[in-house]
Amino acid sequence: MSEHEDEREVERLYRQLPREEPPAALDAKLRAEARRAVVSHPAPLVAPTGRRSWYFPVAAAAVIVLAVAVTWQVEREQVDEGAPLPQSAPVPALRKEQKLPEQAPQKAPEARQYAPLAKRAEKPAEEAKNQAPAEAARDQAPAASVAGTLSQSREDALGERENRMRQERPGGAVAPSAAPPARRELQRDAIQAQGRASFADEPPEKWLERIAQLRQQGRHDEADKALAEFRKRYPDYRIPEATLEKVEKK
Amino acid sequence: MEAPDEELMLAYGNGDAGAFDTLYARHRGTLFRYVLRGVKVRAIAEELYQEIWILVIEARKRYAPSARFTTWLYTIAHNRLVDHWRRKELALVPADDEQQPASAAADPARQLEGREALARFAKALEALPHQQREAFLLHEEAELTALEIAAVTNSEPEAVKSRLRYAYAKLKAATDV
């Protein structure tokens, strides 16, 4: 029997299996849900009168108070994040991470790129462990001081490496035209990491963050393509409003 | 002539609830069987099936007919099933598992005919590795091509063709004993 005939035989048998269907109650529920979704309109905006005339002013005042409070809170958080940090903050449990720059200097730029998302997303502990050590450390308390210490120690390590290279060079002269080699290397790695075209294997959150980065860098064509690809791959993914602003073309 | 799925989905996105009814009637059976034969437990299948349609309803305004509606629908369904398996911590069968024979193929019940052959077939279908079964169901139930299955499952077309070949061969072998 040919392969084609075999397939026909399999198809024939498959068609003989019971043709299960969803229960009628579920059908009705879903149809009702679909109808409700398209017919539910917001209530008409008619100013209440009489005894209820105070509704609108009070609601407006509440909205304003809430908006001011949220804005104030967001600004305060930003100030906290940007505040200078003590360089010698006591973080005994993180000594291992502090040695990171010498052990794996290549990973540092990438870890730095993902940091804002990691903070927002509140990753589960397991996932955090799998991230770059610097990022994992940042998720731990006290997050801000750890990040500061790590970034400081990274800078220190970089400086040390530069000094070493200067000393090794005959006469100790530094080429005036270019950035230091170590820094150049790190920059090149960061650019390569950003420029990777395929995000397909990444979780949706990271994928979106990369798109936002492309948008920030003005690489709108790449961002558009990546966003289209993302929507194709995750048609049901609801992009949060805040993220949407970053990934969509304005 | 009946309106194509894509047109119906766009109409539903624009507020035509009747368009959804037609669309739902067209895909309810095939989608339900795809989910049911993927998870094997009816109660779970009903729950997932409901969630998939809710996702479709919620995504109605974002729908853009860049591909067939069926591909779009089954991409949502596939993503939802993958979420389910991940949550249940059921390991997805790796690609190299494709070399394993179906357990039903080893069944020595040579004399059984008719209903028993069908029962063997159903068992063999259940015993297929996850990726092969999914490719087979998408091909048979949703009538997707290998390329469309590759798009839905985020796989290489050649890998999908290979999965389909193995699936058919194992199912045929199970019914030949």
| Residues in chain B closer than 8 A to A30 (CB atoms) | 24, 50, 53-54, 57
> Residue A14 corresponds to which tokens in the numbers above?
């498959």
Name which of A246, A135, A119, A114 is nearest A193 in CA terms. A114
As a whole number, the mean pLDDT across chain B is: 84
Task: Answer whether residue A248 shows pLDDT above 60.
Answer: yes
Q: Determine the Cα–Cα distance for residues A24 and A42; give it in Å rounded to an integer.
A: 30
Interface of B with A in 17-76 (CB under 8 A): 17, 20-21, 24, 28-29, 32-33, 36, 42, 46, 49-50, 53-60, 62-64, 66-67, 72, 75-76
Name which of A236, A246, A171, A178 is nearest A213 in CA terms. A246
> Residue A243 corresponds to which tokens in the numbers above?
């993220």
Share of chain B above pLDDT 90, in %: 60
User: What secondary structure does DSSP assign to A157-189, as a single string?
Assistant: HHHHHHHHHHHHSGGG---SSS--HHHHHHHHH
Asked if the C-beta of A96 comes within 8 angstroms of chain B's C-beta atoms, the answer is no
Share of chain A above pLDDT 70, in %: 46
What angle, rounded to 10 degrees, do the helices at B130-140 and B17-39 form?
A: 140
Using 50, 70 and 90 to split pLDDT, how confident is the model at A196?
very low
- Facing residue for B46 by CB, picked from A9, A22, A200: A22
Q: Supply the pTM of this predicted model.
A: 0.53
Q: What is the number of CB-based contacts under 8 A between chain A and chain B? A: 106
Instruction: Tell me the one-letter amino acid at B87.
Output: R
Q: Who wins on pLDDT, A3 or A241?
A: A241
- Facing residue for A34 by CB, picked from B36, B57, B117: B57
Using 50, 70 and 90 to split pLDDT, how confident is the model at A68?
very high
Q: What is the largest CA-CA distance in chain A?
A: 90
> Residue B69 corresponds to which tokens in the numbers above?
């509606």
Give yes or no for a contact between B56 and A36, defined as CB atoms under 8 angstroms apart: no
| Residues in chain B closer than 8 A to A21 (CB atoms) | 28-29, 32-33
At A89 the pLDDT is: 43
Task: Answer whether residue A207 shows pLDDT above 80.
Answer: yes
Averaged pLDDT for residues A227-239: 83
Task: Answer whether residue A42 shows pLDDT above 80.
Answer: no
Q: pLDDT digit string (tens) for B134-160? A: 999 999 999 999 999 999 999 999 999
Give yes or no for a contact between B171 and A13, defined as CB atoms under 8 angstroms apart: yes
Q: pLDDT digit string (tens) for A141-191? A: 333 333 344 444 445 554 555 555 445 444 443 433 444 455 555 555 555
